[in-house]
Amino acid sequence: MSAADTTTAGAAPAATVEGYNFAYLDEQTKRMLRRALLKAVAIPGYQVPFASREMPLPYGWGTGGIQVTAAVLGADDTLKVIDQGADDTTNAVNIRSFFARTAGVRTTTRTERASVIQTRHRIPETPLSEDQILVYQVPIPEPLRWLEAREQETRTLHALAEYGLMQVSLYEDVAQHGRIAKTYDYPVEVAGRYVMAPSPIPKFDNPKMDRNPALQLFGAGREKRIYAVPPYTSVRSLDFDDYPFDVEDWSQPCALCGATDSYLDEIITDDAGGRRYVCSDSDHCGKRREAGHTGPQGETS
Amino acid sequence: MSGYGADAPILIADELRHSFGRVPALQGVSFDLHPGEVLGVVGESGSGKTTLVRALSGELVPQGGRVLYRDREGELLDLHALPEGRRRRLYRTDLGTVRQNPRDGLRMTVSAGANVGERLMALGQRHYGSIRAQAEDWLARVEVDPDRLDDVPAQLSGGMQQRLQIARNLVSGPRLVFMDEPTAGLDVSVQARLLDLLRGLVADLGLAVVLVTHDLGVARLLAHRLMVMQHGEVVETGLTDQVLDDPQHAYAQLLVSSILPV
């Protein structure tokens, strides 16, 4: 696992491509993005429209996150990219190498060494600090979209803070399933005002957003929206007084590192119904094993 | 029902005008509605009845004229001139709209309970048990079996959908309700029971109602006062019995005489 750590201690990666501006986008585009980001930070949770650019990969693969990353990345930054918590999945590997080649920045898989972390579907288990920026890839930025199809109407609902509709969907969950059944992209209220889609992170990660010291930026490329949660901003998951928000828990620890406090993926191991649970955050799991923690199946991996 | 004219009007329509292209739908319609009063609006198809309800219920901004509503504090508010947030809040607290087609007035993808509870949640209620109990109570009041609380509207009959729509509107305790052909599309026996229910609720809650209907029988049963419309104009207005028994205007006479003798 630790072989995936590509931190190159100051040296620029050898294969920086010629002919592109730093971090692929031209300076005017980055200024446009930064203006949108500043507005987003000024109004926590508010979706700021921006002129999303065509990127050299398809919509849905993280074009929003990549544009935000390109706009905030500096030459001294160290970039980490995760997809479903892992540094070694296709999406993460390719976005990391994209910025290594177009910006020449250092990359890492170590959460604590990164200054910019682009993520899809997870918040790292390692607590973030004030000098870090977390960039989320967002497929559908509008939390009310499934309930109200008209864009004009959802904007009005946000403007007037009419969020009864969101509550109706939670009511319906409890009525049909006996509990709030939403497990990812669980709607949150930011700074006591805007209701926001936290992107498809598991609800397990929602509490990590609350008063997080890091700056959290969200980019939706196809939907052309940017929003943000500034450091130390309150983020409250919506719920009912008698059906309070809670997070998943697992009946067993991580099979590899024995962690009991991290988000676990269920992995099918054979055709006979064999399965095991392992940390979804590969960096977290690797560090624990380096430190000598072992889970029930730790030796076999 | 006694002395419903004594109070100041709760709703004033002032010279409402609207046309769709060259077709005039409202040509200066004015009326007053007092608390607890049921005003029937009758007329044939295309006479401007539905446009009137849409203008009153905030769905359509009339090209001319004002809709004035007197709120609980006695202040007279021009509904179409209010800031949008305030207007929308009024429409889901003090006012209600029951539409002809329940599909237009209900959220078809969520359960009956969620439909009734929506206004409560919009007003900030966050206790599931309490919202559910109120929804259950309201279903019972509109005579829908509370066992159907978790059914989606598509699983309910047309009559039940219409009752659900009524409960959904009344749950916030409105003072004024607009109804656009609430019993159209229902078979006669269901219609009769729904009318009975409406009459009871209107009397119990002291609701003021603008009731649009093309069915003079419905109007006779529910309305205190009638307003006859033709080509976007009010051609006759008066107490229901008076208009139905002794119509003055030629069109009103035609309308009354066209009731099928049963």
* B54 or A3, which is more confident: B54
Q: How confident is the model at residue B258 (pLDDT cuts 50, 70, 90)?
A: confident
Residue of A139, A128, A110 lying closest to A281 (CA atoms): A110
Do the chains contact at B111 and A175, CB–CB below 8 Å?
yes
Q: Report whether B13 contacts B31 (CB < 8 A).
A: yes
Answer yes or no: is pLDDT of A157 > 60: yes
Nearest to B113 among A156, A160, A175 (CB): A175
For the question of residue A292 being annotated catalytic, the response is no
What is chain B's mean pLDDT, rounded? 91
Q: Supply the pLDDT for residue A24.
A: 95
What is chain A's mean pLDDT, rounded? 92
Q: Residue A202: what residue type? A: P
Answer yes or no: is pLDDT of A293 > 70: yes
Answer yes or no: is pLDDT of B235 > 50: yes
A241 near B CB under 8 A: yes
| Chain A CB contacts of B128 below 8 Å | 171, 174, 240-243
Do the chains contact at B121 and A160, CB–CB below 8 Å?
no
Q: Supply the pLDDT for residue A253.
A: 94
Q: How confident is the model at residue A299 (pLDDT cuts 50, 70, 90)?
A: low
- Residue with the two structure tokens 């693969």: A61
Q: Supply the pLDDT for residue B209.
A: 95
Q: Supply the pLDDT for residue B256.
A: 86
A172 near B CB under 8 A: yes
Q: Which of A64, A65, A85, A285 is catalytic?
A: A285
Chain B: closest CA distance from residue A164 (Å): 4
Answer yes or no: is pLDDT of B44 > 60: yes
Answer yes or no: is pLDDT of B252 > 70: yes
Q: Supply the pLDDT for residue B5.
A: 43
Do the chains contact at A168 and B118, CB–CB below 8 Å?
yes
- Residue with the two structure tokens 């269901």: B190
B84 near A CB under 8 A: yes
For the question of residue A257 being annotated catalytic, the response is yes
Answer yes or no: is pLDDT of A301 > 60: no
Do the chains contact at B114 and A168, CB–CB below 8 Å?
yes
Q: What is d(CA A214, CA B175) in angstroms, rounded to the nearest whole number? A: 50
- Residue with the two structure tokens 């006062």: B225
Output the pTM of the full model.
Answer: 0.88
B171 near A CB under 8 A: no
Cα nearest neighbour of B119 on chain A:
A164
- Cα dihedral angle (A287, A105, A211, A252), rounded to 10 degrees? -30
Q: Supply the pLDDT for residue B19.
A: 95
Q: Supply the pLDDT for residue A4.
A: 45
pLDDT in tens, A186-238: 999 999 999 999 999 999 999 999 999 999 999 999 999 999 999 999 999 99
pLDDT in tens, B118-166: 999 999 999 999 999 999 999 999 999 999 999 999 999 999 999 999 9
For the question of residue A45 being annotated catalytic, the response is yes
Answer yes or no: is pLDDT of B186 > 90: no
Q: What is d(CA A83, CA A92) in angstroms, rounded to the nearest whole number? A: 5
Most confident of A30-44, B33-47, B169-183: A30-44
Do the chains contact at A168 and B129, CB–CB below 8 Å?
no
B119 near A CB under 8 A: yes
Q: Which of A85, A221, A254, A286 is catalytic?
A: A254
Q: Supply the pLDDT for residue A102.
A: 94
| Chain B CB contacts of A165 below 8 Å | 118, 122
For the question of residue A279 being annotated catalytic, the response is yes
Answer yes or no: is pLDDT of A140 > 60: yes
Mean pLDDT, rounded, for A229-252: 95
